[in-house]
Amino acid sequence: MDFKRLDLVRRSATPIELDVVEAYANGRITRRQFIQRATVIGLSLPAIGAVIAACGPGAASVAPTAAGSAEPGASAPASAPAVTGGTIRCAIQKPVKVDPVSMEDLGGYGIVAQSFEFLCTQQTIGDPGGLAAGLAETWTPNEDGTVWTFKLRQGVKWQNGADFNAADVVATMERLVAAGNSGLKGVLEPGGAVATDDATVTFTLAGGNGNFPYLVSIYNAQTVITPADYVAGTTVDQRPDGTGAWKLVNYDPQVGATFERNPDWWGGQTPLDGTEFLFFDSTGPMITAYQGDQVDAIVQFDVLSGAALFDDPNFTLIATPAALHRQIWMRCDTGQFAQKEVRQALALTFDRPALITQLFKERAELGNDHVIWPGYPYFDDAIPQRTQDIEKAKSLLAGAGVSDLTATLHAGQLQEIPDLATLLKSQAAQAGITLNIEVESLDTFYNAQWCPPGATPPCSGAAELGIVDYGHRATPDVYLNAALKTNGIWNSSQYTSADFDAAFTEFQQAVTVDAQKAACTKIETILNEDVPVGVPYFYNYLAGNSNKFTGVFSSALGQMSFSQTSQVG
Amino acid sequence: MDVPVTPGPLAPIAPVAPGAASPVSERAQARRETLRVLLRRPAFIIGSLVVLGWVVTAILGDRITPYDPFNDFAAGHQPPSTEHLFGTDRLGRDILSRVMVGSRDVLIVAPLAALLGVSVGTLLGLIMGYYRGTIDDVLSRLVEAFLALPVILVALLTLVVLGSSPAVVVCVVGILFTPIVARTVRSAVLSERQLDYVTAAKLRGESGLFILSREIFPNVLGPTVVELTVRFGYAIFTVATLSFLGVGIQPPSPDWGLAVSEEYTNMISGIWWPTLFPALAIASTVVAVNLIADSLQSVLTE
Amino acid sequence: MARFIARRLLLSLLTLYLLASIVFIIVNVLPNDVGRTILGPFAPQESVDALNERLGTNRPILIRYVESIVGVFTLDFGESFVNGRPVLPQLSEAIVRSAKLAGLALAITIPTAIAAGLYAARRRDRKSDRAIVLLGVTSSSIPEFVTGTILVVVVGVQLGLLPVLANAPRNADALTQIRYLLMPALAMAIVYFGYIARMTRAGTIDVLQSDYTRTATMKGLKTEQVMRRHVLRNALIPTVAVIAVQIGYLFGGIIAVERIFAYPGMGQTMLFAAQRKDIPMLTAGVIIVGIVYMLATLVADLVIAWMNPRIRLDAER
């Protein structure tokens, strides 16, 4: 360990930064987790490099391979000779809304993120999961993480020629807070964002928060920075001028969108001349289009539809481990699953590895009936992984005085969920539990089975047993808050636990690595024991492109980045 | 669809002396004659055998399938082999077993829809054709309006509004078939009511209802039966298409149309068997029903 | 003739009115909260109430009925639930695309089916006749999505002859567009071949057996002349009727075919609207197809009246 080099970094570090460095230096977090944490709290890349170099013999450099392409043989943008020119055609699900403030679907996120940008963006070199500089160049927290200072990039222009400055950022944040953005709710209050000068924005938070930069990053999709005089409710085709690498040229809500290179982009000249998006209603036709050579890239697809693509040698698969998951909620307050033992029994019938093989062809990670994804830096793997144990399930049921348990398993028509229901039914039957499957269209399902509107507390009209989908989040805050906290807005299991609520508050307020991990351990243990929701897996986000192009990156939220893409020579 | 299978002049199967003594036994004899003639036509035999075959598999269900169609999960997407004659689907379930059981939902929903359409349609057709006048004018306009409605699209709209349960599918498809049947029956009644035996009955002082049910209806039975069979074929066709579009029968049913919609995108990658066999099943059933209808029409109208 | 046309037109308008009423009943048979459907399950109740107020969904049903009927006749279908934009402009491009596909399908099927029907009728009850009838019965029994998928696999992927997606790149010339549309058009054409061929055959047989044809033959006219002067005109009457009536079913087939070939026509739009519960869009689709159907039958009736003076005179009496 090169203490001298380490000390240089230590001396100039704020307490939070110091804590992360110490955690890594003392081996409490892995190098990958360190890089993630460090980029989030705003440690500069040179500083990160210095710490890593200082902390171990043969420590590799910070920028090894191209991120976002987890498959071997993935393309590295810098090394290959870049051919300029050409257009890439991308298949994306049809956007429901392209209003940056209120959009909620992957189609919208993907389109808006082409011409608009975030303060913090996706890390495309090194391991995925951290943050890279976007419209903000650097950011630092104060001692307890209650005030974050963001220094903005200089010389950025809007596509209509106006200058980008702090006023735009402040106006954007105010707009989002007023609209009740789910990521910022409870964290940033009105007036919390202040422009201390043209190039600096200071965020004063409601409480200490060690993850704040995630909440103004690409992972909180609505936080694209829009001009100061942007009116909430305007869609991106009505006012297309963002700061991004691509200018929106044509938008047809039924057919697609076309973008052209923005010659004044701060990131330089993009190798490609333009990008073209084609809208699809479902994954099947996207795959067809790709195989028919009518698109070159696909924004998101699921394993079962895209089975053919895995064997296609001309297809570059972008498989990003993500926190995408399904929750099998069980009513904890009334009904047949009110007893903890019954819920545990059902969870014990899950054959998780089989589910991962059948439904995802191994492209998923085991879930342990809690919502802390193994990819989060504060994940604690010390909790024993629950596996299928039919005998134990039976004895738990007997002990709870339950025999011939029969329930209706509700599911929405979305990707693999009906198939998941089928497999669960078969697995549960081995322990004598009879599940009758009822599949409905997604809208009906959300309104009738999951969270019937108008109920107080929210979701108290939920069905006894059902499967609901959750998209990727860079932090588990939304899952914990909405789905599991007492009176959470998405709490379909009506789970109420004072212990859990306390652990969650502890997690939110924790800023040091150890504190976050300790809180997470508590959360994992409590959820694994109480099983308000069964979480059998976290599956990978799948996207991809044809080998004719290289340098394609994708977040797990439908935002594909083509600014470094070029045709292969 | 609203065209009879092989169009031709429609004539009743009236026995020699309509309305004469012991009409029942006369009719019974006529029916036996018809059956004998039918059985000599290869189209009828083939059609009936196929339909019967599917009905048998629908009734016996998983008792005769080689594997459990719901709980037996082998390796996914295995091509047809000696172990799995039709291969396995994405979850590893035997496709032959699922195709056999998949007949059940369609063979319940489609006949019910056809029956609904034909019963209401025949009633309407009888009334319209016999009474004529204002009732006929008003109902005809209504029938025309219904005929202008695109069946699949209206079914889509209704299933979205009401949610897609089998009961709703039956009602929607049945009601949408009613006008076509009504029109066919109406024209048959129109040609009947001018015949002598009807005038004779009127002179005798029989009530309209009596004439309709005892005299006219049995003589339009021929076209009605043909219509029922044709409707049955198109009910299968329509229900399968609705399931393919995702608003008919819902997962996890092994229904044929649903099976095609679940895996049709894989055909392009060479995994054709989860799609082809259910599709052939649909085709075979509808063709068989239409062959029966075609034979019935030839026999009952010659 | 003018009286005939006027009468038919009036009847069509009446039918349109009934059509619009039926659709209104279907959509309003269940009480549904429009504001809630648009804003989703998590919007606060005040926003939902405000939206309902703005859209006027709480007004008495009679007023809404009148509005909706007027809307149909002025082609104003309101705004989409999904993106709040007016419905008709969004549909117009899709309608044009579907019209191209349907047009190509009809262009393929009508001449071939009529030719087959005539051929079969002249060789009645011989093997070729039975074969054509059987072919007709079989081909019209196979749903479009079945033929569509087989075409995609065999012709599109294995043989690579035709593109697998039906939507040609923008600004492609007519020939390229036809190339892209060929497979989906074929999938639809195969189904309608059967009906039209059999209708033509039946109509031709009828006419061939009729008195005036036999008179013409006995007068010494050659078969070809007989065919041309008398038979064709009258035999085609039921065919024209069938083609018009099939428009409604053509549309059902289009939905399935557009799904398989990912063609952004009316069918895809309607399917997406159904998935998103976008009722104004669906309603507009139903009415528009209904209007097309009525226009088609109107034109068919006029053509038939022109071809057969007896019908025209009959109606005018």
In this predicted model, which residue has the larger pLDDT, A497 or B27?
A497
Beta strands A364-366 and A315-330, pairing class: unpaired
ipTM above 0.90, yes or no: no
Mean pLDDT, rounded, of chain C: 79
CB–CB contact C270 B264 (8 Å): no
Is C275 within 8 Å of A441 when comparing Cβ atoms? Answer: yes
Instruction: Mutate one of A103, A288, A468 to test the C interface: name it (highest C CB count within 10 A).
Output: A288
- Is the pLDDT at B23 greater than 80? The verdict is no
Question: Residues of A with CB below 8 A from B91's CB?
Answer: 358, 419, 422-423
Q: Give A 400-419 residues with CB within 8 A of chain B.
A: 413, 418-419
Name which residue leads in pLDDT, A268 or A30. Answer: A268
Coarse DSSP helix, strand, coil percentages of chain B, rounded to the nearest 5 percent: 75, 0, 25
Task: Give the C-alpha separation, A537 to A526, whole Å.
Answer: 18
Contact B157 C30 (CB under 8 A): no
* Residue B289 contacts residue B229 (beta carbons within 8 Å): yes
User: How many contacts, defined by CB atoms under 8 Å, are there between A and B?
Assistant: 62
**pLDDT at residue A291 above 80?**
no
| Contact predicate A321/A538, CB 8 Å | yes
CA nearest to C254 within chain B: B152
Which residue among C27, C198, C251 sits closest to B152, beta carbon to beta carbon?
Answer: C251
Of C45, C94, C164, the CB nearest to A288: C164
Mutate which of C145, C283, C298 to disrupt the B interface (most B C-beta within 10 Å)?
A: C145
Distance CA C47, CA B283 (A): 50
CA distance A256 to chain C (A): 10
> Does A373 have pLDDT greater than 90?
yes
Is the pLDDT reported for residue B44 higher than 70? Answer: yes
Give me chain A's average pLDDT, please.
Answer: 85
User: Interface partners of C (3+ CB pairs, < 8 Å)?
Assistant: A, B
The pLDDT-based confidence of A72 (bands split at 50, 70, 90) is very low
Test C26 with B5 for CB contact under 8 angstroms: no
Residue of A283, A309, A422 to mutate, testing the B interface (most B Cβ within 10 Å of its Cβ): A422
Per the CB < 8 Å rule, is A453 touching C41? yes
B153–C289 CB contact, under 8 Å: yes
Alpha-carbon Rg for chain C in angstroms: 24
Share of chain A above pLDDT 70, in %: 94
Residue C223 confidence class, pLDDT cut points 50, 70, 90: low
Kindly report the backbone phi and psi dihedral angles of residue B177, in degrees, each rounded to the nearest multiple of 5, phi listed first. -85, -20
Residue A461 φ then ψ, to 5°: -95, 15
| HSE (side-chain half, CA atoms, 13 Å) at A165 | 9
Output the 3-class SS for B193-258.
Answer: CCCHHHHHHHHHCCCHHHHHHHHHHHHCHHHHHHHHHHHHHHHHHHHHHHHHHCCCCCCCCCCHHH
Q: Is the pLDDT of residue A533 over 90?
A: yes
> How many interchain CB pairs under 8 A, B with C?
179
What number is the average pLDDT over the span C91-95? Answer: 85
Q: Please tell me the predicted confidence (pLDDT) of residue C157.
A: 67
Least confident piece of the model among A404-418, B7-21, B232-246, C52-66: B7-21
Cα distance between residue B145 and residue B123, in whole Å: 18
- Identify all chain B residues contacting C251, using CB atoms and an 8 Å cutoff: 150, 152-153
pLDDT on residue A59: 39
Mean pLDDT, residues A28-37 taken together: 79
Per-residue confidence (pLDDT) for residue A80, from 0 to 100: 46
Strand A274-280 to strand A87-93: parallel, antiparallel, or no bridges (unpaired)? parallel
Q: Which residues of B touch C205 (CB under 8 A)?
A: 8
Residue A187 tokens read as: 């964290």
pLDDT of residue C310: 65
Cα–Cα distances (Å) from C27 to A146, B170, C81, C244, in that order, read: 53, 18, 14, 27
Lowest mean pLDDT among A74-83, C20-29, C107-116, C159-168: A74-83
Tell me whether residues B265 and A423 touch, CB distance under 8 A: no
pLDDT in tens, B130-146: 887 888 888 888 888 88
Which residues of B fall within a CB distance of 8 Å from A447? none
Res A129: pLDDT: 66
Distance CA(A551)–CA(A75), nearest Å, equals: 6
Confidence of residue A82 (pLDDT cuts 50, 70, 90): low
Specify the 3-state DSSP secondary structure of A21: helix
CA dist., res. A292 & res. B230, Å (int): 38
Contacts of A441 in chain B (CB under 8 A): 164, 246-247
pLDDT in tens, A198-215: 999 999 998 888 788 988
Alpha carbons A299 and A286: distance in angstroms, whole number: 9
Pick the range with the lowest mean pLDDT from A285-294, A444-453, A460-469, C28-37. C28-37
Q: Give the residues across from A139 on adjacent strands.
A: A150
A540 contacts A69 by C-beta, under 8 angstroms: no
Q: H/E element holding C149? A: helix C144-151
Where residue C312 falls among pLDDT bands split at 50, 70, 90?
A: low
Mean pLDDT over C102-108 rounds to 91
Who contacts A356 (Cβ-Cβ below 8 Å, separation ≥6)? A362, A363, A364, A365, A366, A537, A539
The reported pTM is: 0.79
Using CB atoms, which residue from B146, B158, B260 is nearest to C145? Answer: B260
Q: Which regions of B32-134 does DSSP assign to beta strands (E)?
A: none
Terminal alpha carbon distance of chain A: 44
Residue A535 φ/ψ, nearest 5 degrees: -125, 95
CA C205, C207, C212, C218 torsion-angle sign:
negative
In terms of Cβ atoms closer than 10 Å to its own Cβ (0-12, 13-18, 19+), residue C151 is: buried
Q: What is the residue type of A309?
A: L
How far away is chain A from the Cα of B262, in angstroms, using its nearest Cα?
9
Band of residue A276 on the pLDDT scale cut at 50, 70, 90: very high
Q: Is the pLDDT of residue A389 over 90?
A: yes
- How far is Cα of residue A370 from the mean position of the Cα atoms in its chain? 16
Which residues, in sequence order, are CB contacts of A181 under 8 Å at separation 6+?
A101, A220, A222, A223
In the predicted model, is pLDDT for residue B9 greater than 60? no
Cβ of C83 within 8 Å of Cβ of A291? The answer is no
CA distance A351 to chain C (A): 32
Map tokens 């659709």 to a residue: C23
Asked whether the predicted pLDDT for residue A77 surpasses 60, the reply is no
**Confidence category of residue A78, pLDDT binned at 50, 70, 90:** very low
Residue C155 DSSP one-character state: I
pLDDT in tens, A217-266: 988 888 999 999 898 888 888 889 899 999 999 998 877 899 999 999 99
Q: How high is the pLDDT of residue C44?
A: 63
Using CA coordinates, name the residue in chain B closest to A285: B265
- The whole-number average pLDDT for the span A271-290 is 85
pLDDT digits 0-9 by tens, B65-111: 888 888 888 888 889 998 899 999 988 899 999 999 999 888 999 99
pLDDT band at A347 (very low <50, low <70, confident <90, very high): very high
DSSP calls for A70-100 = -STT---TTTSPPBP--EEEEEEEPPS---T
**Tell me, what amino acid is at A372?**
I
Higher per-residue confidence, C292 vs A409: A409
pLDDT in tens, A466-525: 999 888 887 888 889 888 999 888 899 999 999 999 999 888 888 777 888 899 999 999
Cβ distance of C164 and A289 shorter than 8 Å:
yes
HSE-CB of A320 using CA atoms within 13 angstroms: 30
pLDDT average, residue stretch C22-48: 71
Does the pLDDT of residue A142 top 50, yes or no?
yes
Report pLDDT for A386.
94
Over residues A461-465, mean pLDDT: 91
pLDDT in tens, B263-273: 877 776 778 88
CA B141-B144-B146 angle, 5° bins = 110
In this prediction, residue A420 carries a pLDDT of 94
pLDDT tens sequence across A405-440: 999 999 988 888 999 999 999 999 999 999 999 888
Chain B residues with beta carbon closer than 8 angstroms to that of C30: 161-162
Specify the range with the lowest mean pLDDT, choosing from A112-116, A322-326, A439-443. Answer: A439-443
